[in-house]
């Protein structure tokens, strides 16, 4: 039985017919199941080949938009050109040389943050701290709520002590960043750059909700009206559609690929 309802199938067919489209998706919880250790994450079978097939078609730009740093995202996804990788919540872009440019104040804050998070982790056994080029991320996935909850609260409190940090909570994670663009602005900017007539975005988390909202508020009102946003999994959402899991994502991407091929070359 298909995980895609008739309304979503119809929306995919309409989306496939636009001349230039941006197909963008989060990685964790969308292409790859959520796992205890972020470095163990791998995409489910079929998702990446469908994205590569879409990227090979005229008029299609495909992007992975993730909170992960750029290089781990590239390694774990196996993504290759021409797929675009947008990492660190929009602060890194595979099409740009040099990565992040942090000023001295940001570098000093990052060093201070690292020390404070070492103390936090020591006081909350089992907590993991992920190192990113411009951020540190506290992970509590797999811990009992009575253990993980206080650790996340401590991370949020740490963020409040440093007002210049950008604090982004998610599913059993809190990211503390010294440089942050946001998935929403990154998606709209990418759509502008590639001249997209319509944008599809799939996500599963708080930061993806910001992406859904930004696409609805896209200053290009015609493109905003043609957006297609899909929430993967449960939770409140402003997305237009919902599908249950990563395997439904593969079905969606394969359905879109077939529809785009049937629609023929971009006009």
Residue that terminates a domain, selected from 124, 148, 177:
177
Distance CA 237, CA 259 (A): 26
Confidence class of residue 266 from pLDDT cuts 50, 70 and 90?
low
Asked about 245 being catalytic, the answer comes back as no
Confidence (pLDDT) at 152: 97
Enter the tokens of residue 135. 């951020």
Confidence (pLDDT) at 69: 87
Residue that terminates a domain, selected from 159, 177, 195:
177
Q: Tell me the backbone φ, ψ of residue 34, rounded to 5 degrees.
A: -70, 135
172 φψ region: left (φ > 0), alpha (ψ -120 to 50), beta (else): left
Give, as one character, the DSSP assignment of residue 43: P
Query: Tell me: the pLDDT tens digits for 30-55?
Result: 999 988 888 888 999 999 999 999 99
In sequence order, which residues have a C-beta less than 8 Å from that of residue 246 and are 6 or more positions away? 29, 30, 31, 32, 33, 43, 44, 47, 232
* Sole residue written with tokens 């599908």: 243
Same structural domain, 81 and 197: yes
Range with lowest mean pLDDT among 67-81, 100-114, 160-174: 100-114
Same structural domain, 192 and 172: no
Catalytic residue among 5, 26, 40, 192: 26
Same structural domain, 146 and 227: no
CATH number, domain of 151, equals 3.30.70.1020
Enter the tokens of residue 225. 């009206």
Domain span at 139: 104-177
Same structural domain, 201 and 251: yes
Range with lowest mean pLDDT among 64-68, 149-153, 262-266: 262-266
Enter the tokens of residue 188. 């709209």
Confidence (pLDDT) at 92: 87
Distance CA 226, CA 93 (A): 25
Pick the closest to residue 57 from 219, 264, 267 (CA basis).
264
Confidence (pLDDT) at 90: 85
Confidence (pLDDT) at 98: 62
Range with lowest mean pLDDT among 19-28, 177-186, 189-198, 232-241: 177-186
Residue that terminates a domain, selected from 139, 157, 177:
177
Confidence (pLDDT) at 101: 62
Confidence (pLDDT) at 99: 62
Share of the chain above pLDDT 90, in %: 79
Confidence (pLDDT) at 78: 95
Distance CA 144, CA 124 (A): 12
Q: Name the pTM for this structure.
A: 0.81
Q: Tell me the backbone φ, ψ of residue 176, rounded to 5 degrees.
A: -120, 110
Distance CA 242, CA 5 (A): 9
């Amino acid at each position: 039985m298909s995980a895609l309802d008739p309304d979503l199938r119809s929306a995919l067919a309409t989306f496939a017919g636009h001349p230039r489209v941006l197909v963008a998706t989060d990685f964790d919880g969308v292409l790859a199941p959520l796992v205890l250790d972020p470095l163990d994450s791998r995409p489910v079978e079929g998702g990446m080949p469908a994205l590569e097939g879409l990227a090979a078609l005229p008029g299609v730009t495909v992007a992975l938009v993730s909170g992960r740093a750029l290089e781990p995202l590239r390694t774990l996804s196996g993504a290759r050109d021409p797929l675009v990788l947008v990492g660190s919540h929009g602060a890194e872009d595979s099409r740009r040389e040099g990565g992040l440019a942090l000023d001295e104040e940001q570098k000093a804050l990052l060093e201070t943050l690292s020390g404070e998070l070492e103390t936090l982790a020591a006081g909350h056994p089992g907590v993991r701290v992920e190192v990113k080029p411009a951020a540190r991320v506290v992970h509590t996935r797999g811990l009992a709520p009575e253990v993980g909850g206080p650790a996340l609260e401590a991370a949020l409190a740490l963020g409040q002590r440093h007002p210049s940090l950008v604090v982004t909570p998610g599913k059993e994670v809190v990211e503390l960043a010294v440089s942050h663009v946001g998935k929403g602005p990154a998606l709209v900017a990418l759509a502008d750059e590639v001249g997209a007539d319509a944008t599809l975005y799939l996500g599963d988390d708080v930061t993806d909700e910001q992406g859904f909202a930004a696409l609805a508020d896209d200053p290009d009102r015609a493109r905003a009206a043609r957006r297609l946003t899909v929430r993967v999994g449960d939770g409140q959402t402003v997305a237009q559609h919902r599908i249950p899991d990563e395997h439904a994502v593969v079905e969606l991407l394969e359905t879109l690929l077939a529809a785009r091929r049937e629609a023929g070359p971009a006009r």
